[in-house]
Structure 1
């Protein structure tokens, strides 16, 4: 199964993972955010719905994603570009969009200040 972990973590932890990967230790697939606020800003409710529709679906046109979500194409277009800019979605050579994972794990911890 091709899985990705969306996480909130420090730059130090990302650097540590990079160094271990550079030494040949498999790290898995991660997309990291600096804070929970940034994660929730990038992945709003409608964008989370878009990821759910696209998980395991293969390449789709924006129009097809909008149809599956019962949403306006223009609104989905804006969400797609936000997720492309964040590195969550990819664009194929044919101009379709793809979320290249079969599952998503979200990992962050809320601690007392």
Structure 2
């Protein structure tokens, strides 16, 4: 588990991916499980992964558990502000709370979506 993939798409997209995996499994074929976080819209993703929060995720990537105070020191921000952002990231399923602090158990994030022009 080195990479978390971020995707945009609603429930139809998720259902389609699950159906494809179920079909492969029914045929006796290997199904590759890829850690994925789905957002319905770009705006939803940006609310969670705003630049200041993405900086926190980058600091955590591949580091193991860190205290919020240490994360705040590494990103050069106030501990209370980092705590609020970490709470948002935990609630969205981006980072995990561990006994020794908070962690992002991946080394990389892959964004898998297209940005299309307005209709």
The TM-score, its normalising length taken from structure 2, stands at 0.86
**Pairs within 5 Å for 1:26-105:** 26-92=32-98, 94=99, 96-105=101-110
RMSD of Structure 2 on Structure 1 (CA): 1.5
- Number of matched pairs: 112
> What is the deviation of 1:70?
1.2
> What is the deviation of 1:95?
5.2
Secondary structure of the corresponding residue to residue 27 of structure 1: coil
The TM-score, its normalising length taken from structure 1, stands at 0.90
d(CA) in 1 for partners of 2:103, 2:116? 34
Q: CA deviation digits over 1:10-61, x for unaligned, max 9? A: 2112112233445351131110100001101111110011111111111111
